């Protein structure tokens, strides 16, 4: 994925001459030399005149190709040969091409191409190309895609309590079809672009015309067109290019597997991005408040949804603040702790050779290791490792006086509250910040911890996502919006 481990690219190849750029079966076959999955079907008309069908095995639907392309071409050949025998006329391949172009083959998706590069792109995408001898300036493309793909299934990373169970898969056209099924509006627009010099990955920009900010849309399209990379295979290779080298640890693009969540954001004026080959879709611009919302907020009563959403914000604060606060208070400000609790902490630390900051840092790192181990191992084994690591090893560490029970409780609270945040990218950002705040609090106490929180808030207020302030609507002058759909969810009233 990254250029630093690849071989250096060779010298620039001089431009090919006109004969090599001509659209002939020989030139197309030469581009796929040593590729055994290339299929070339030649239909001889008479003498050296022929019709050639080119496709890639495994990317086309063989039955569709036979029934809708090859059989009509064979029928056309028989008609041409029969007419020549009856009327003794000369066969002209351009005339045959014109007949195909005019629709003598009843296929729903047909396209005329005039460049050899376009032929290669279409063939590699699963289409079949028809090339006629004596016609060297154009060819005909038939869409007969038929490669294997994953069916529409439930989301694997976003659990559904009450709502639609449809998720995106890795096929772009399936995903756009799912969106069209939900939004039956002429205002829904889809623009597609090819990204990646080697992969030519299709990237679709989806938006509602009239609801989307034109300036933000133009900025998104411009950034997609400016992406300079060999391939779009992993999500980060696209995200980092779209964010133009941003080093922020906070996410500026909201991803989801869920079709209902994606379409809801589109209707609200957001811009969607779908990448062929990825089972997730992006929404931009993504502001801080959006990462705390899930579709289930609109599936339950507004009061219940509001309480749960408030809990998420409290959990976000706890997961960042609690470990650093414990280190600062136990190290620099023990007078702030109630006497009974202070005595309990002192008693639990008897025999532990490490300071509070070292205990918390080691436990946080161990917690991250458990998370990573559970994510990388097979599901059943990963669950076992998490249970064994969290219970048995944790209990053994306390009994062996490697850490105190108070630290285990603090780290457990920080870890559990972090899991309440719906978005994994934002959770990862908070995991980094809480470790940084622990280190700051271990050196400067509550003063440093407070300053760290102020700097985080200051940074968030100055950050933007595609030109939109990151803390909107919290930083907006219109305070009426705060009670509609931010920390609480208001009642969904009728459209005025």
pLDDT digits (tens, 9 = 90+) for 35-58: 888 999 998 887 788 899 999 988
Q: Are 408 and 398 in contact (CB under 8 A)?
A: yes
What kind and span of H or E run contains 274? Answer: strand 271-275
Q: Which of 31, 55, 34, 53 is nearest to 44 (CA)?
A: 53
* Cβ atoms of residues 53 and 130 within 8 Å: yes
Categorize the per-residue pLDDT at 11 as very low, low, confident or very high, splitting at 50, 70 and 90: very low
Q: How far apart are CA 431 and CA 319, in angstroms?
A: 8
Q: How do residues 447-465 score in pLDDT, each as one tens digit?
A: 999 999 999 999 999 998 9
- DSSP code, position 167: B
Average pLDDT estimate for 118-130: 90
The residue-averaged pLDDT of 332-337 equals 82
Q: Distance (Å, rounded) from C-alpha 408 to C-alpha 47?
A: 85
Cis peptide bond N-terminal to 473, omega within 30: yes
Alpha carbon dihedral 95, 98, 100, 106, in 10-degree steps, equals -130
User: What pLDDT score was predicted for residue 19?
Assistant: 63
DSSP string spanning 380-417? HHHHHHHHIIIIIIHHHHHHTTSS-HHHHHHHHHHHHH
Q: Where are the domains of the chain?
A: 14-143, 172-286, 298-479
Q: Is the pLDDT of residue 22 over 90?
A: no
pLDDT at 356: 85
Rounded to an integer, the average pLDDT of 432-441 is 93
| Better pLDDT: 172 or 33 | 172
- Tokens standing for residue 201: 């990955």
Task: Please tell me the distance from the alpha carbon of residue 465 to that of residue 243, in angstroms, as a whole number.
Answer: 9
Q: Which two tokens stand for residue 323?
A: 């470990």
Query: Taking residues 470-481, what's their average pLDDT?
Result: 74
pLDDT at 10 over 50: no
Contact 161, 299 (CB under 8 A): yes
Q: How far is CA 385 from CA 47, 178, 377, 414, in A?
A: 71, 38, 9, 20
The pairing of strands 201-208 and 254-256 is unpaired
Alpha-carbon distance 158 to 150, whole Å?
18
Measured in residues, the chain has a length of 496
Take residue 328 and report the two structure tokens written for it. Answer: 């600062």
Outline where 183-295 has alpha helix (H): 214-225, 235-242, 259-267
State the number of CA atoms in the 13 A half-sphere of 66 facing the CB.
3
At 103, is the pLDDT very low, low, confident or very high (cuts 50, 70, 90)? confident
Asked if 271 and 194 count as a contact pair (C-beta separation under 8 A), the reply is no
**pLDDT in the model for residue 391:** 67
Q: Which residue has the higher pLDDT, 86 or 304?
A: 304
């Amino acid at each position: 994925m990254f250029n630093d481990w690849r071989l250096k690219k060779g010298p620039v190849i001089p431009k090919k001459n006109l004969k090599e750029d001509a659209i002939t079966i020989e030139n197309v076959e030469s581009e796929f030399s040593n590729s055994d999955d290339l299929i070339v079907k030649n239909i001889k008309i008479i003498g050296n005149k022929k019709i050639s069908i080119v496709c890639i095995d495994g990317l086309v639907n063989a039955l569709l190709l036979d029934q809708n392309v090859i059989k009509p071409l064979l029928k056309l050949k028989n008609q041409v040969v029969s007419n020549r025998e009856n009327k003794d006329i000369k066969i002209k391949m351009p005339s045959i091409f014109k007949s195909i172009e005019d629709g003598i083959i009843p296929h729903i998706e047909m396209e005329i191409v005039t460049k050899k590069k376009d032929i290669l792109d279409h063939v590699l995408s699963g289409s079949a190309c028809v090339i006629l001898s004596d016609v060297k300036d154009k060819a005909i493309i038939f869409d007969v895609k038929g490669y294997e793909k994953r069916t529409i299934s439930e989301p694997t990373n976003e659990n559904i309590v009450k709502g639609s169970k449809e998720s995106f898969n890795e096929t772009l056209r399936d995903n756009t079809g799912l969106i069209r099924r939900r939004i039956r509006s002429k205002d829904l627009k889809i623009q597609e672009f090819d990204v990646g010099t080697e992969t030519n990955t299709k990237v679709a920009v989806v938006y509602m015309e009239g609801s989307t900010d034109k300036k933000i849309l133009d900025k998104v399209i411009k950034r997609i067109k400016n992406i300079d990379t060999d391939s779009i295979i992993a999500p980060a290779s696209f995200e980092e290019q779209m964010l133009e080298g941003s080093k922020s640890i906070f996410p500026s693009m909201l991803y989801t597997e869920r079709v209902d969540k994606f379409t809801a954001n589109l209707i609200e004026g957001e811009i969607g991005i779908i990448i062929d080959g990825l089972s997730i879709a992006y929404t931009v611009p993504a502001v801080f408040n959006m990462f705390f919302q899930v579709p289930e907020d609109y599936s339950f009563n507004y009061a219940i949804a509001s309480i749960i959403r408030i809990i998420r914000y409290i959990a976000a604060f706890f997961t960042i603040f609690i470990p650093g606060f414990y280190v600062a208070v136990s190290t620099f400000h023990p007078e702030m702790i109630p006497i009974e609790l202070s005595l309990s902490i002192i008693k639990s630390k008897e025999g532990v050779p490490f300071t509070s900051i070292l205990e918390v840092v080691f436990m946080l790192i161990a917690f991250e290791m458990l998370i990573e181990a559970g994510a990388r191992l097979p599901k059943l084994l990963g669950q076992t490792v998490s249970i064994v690591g969290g219970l048995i090893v944790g209990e053994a560490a306390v009994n062996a006086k490697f850490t105190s029970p108070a630290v285990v409780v603090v780290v457990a609270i920080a870890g559990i509250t972090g899991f309440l945040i719906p978005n994994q990218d934002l959770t990862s950002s908070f995991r980094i910040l809480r470790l940084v705040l622990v280190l700051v609090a271990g050196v400067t106490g509550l003063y440093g911890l407070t300053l760290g929180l102020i700097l985080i808030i200051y940074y968030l207020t100055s950050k933007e996502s595609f030109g939109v302030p990151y803390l909107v609507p919290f930083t907006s002058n219109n305070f009426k919006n705060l009670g509609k759909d931010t920390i609480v969810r208001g009642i969904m009233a009728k459209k005025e």
